Homo-oligomer: A and B are copies of this chain.
Amino acid sequence: VPRREQGVYVISVAAELTGVHPQTLRIYERKGLVEPARTGGGSRRYSDTDIALLRRIQELTNVGLNLEGVRRVLELEAEVERLQREVDRLGKESADAVEQAHKEHRRELVPLNQAMVLYRRGGNGPAPS
């Protein structure tokens, strides 16, 4: 079980790691961009994935996006990633499906000349390697 998802950084450390002001981190949470875990006492605990997300947010704001834009861009980037995986999967699947079709035929059929040889020899089963 990886511990990466567990919140380990308090807000001041998260601020250091990402170069974002602690107060700004609270704003990001209020706007729903990040959702760090909370301790029983109510303190925020940022996980490594939270840190990575915050760094991405930082990149986007640094090139001039506002927070609403950041939200939409993150959503769309996730969509792009999902579709890219789908394309990769379908690419392999297509090749595999063709291969599978060939194999089926190889199991059930034999070339005519080979069949004739088998027949002449009295062979009855089409058992090629």
Contact = CB atoms under 8 A, between A and B. Distances in A.
Contact of A65 (B72, B79, B87, B116): B72
Interface string A107-129: 01111100110110000001000
Contacts of A102: 101, 105
Contact of A116 (B63, B73, B93, B115): B115
A57 to B, nearest CB: 13
Chain copies in complex: 2
A94 B90 contact: yes
A105 B101 CA distance: 9
| Interface residue tally on A, bucketed by range | 35 or more
Contacts of A90: 87, 90-91, 94
Contacts of A86: 83, 87
A21 B64 CA distance: 23
A56 to B, nearest CB: 13
B109 A105 contact: yes
Contact of A69 (B73, B77, B91): B73
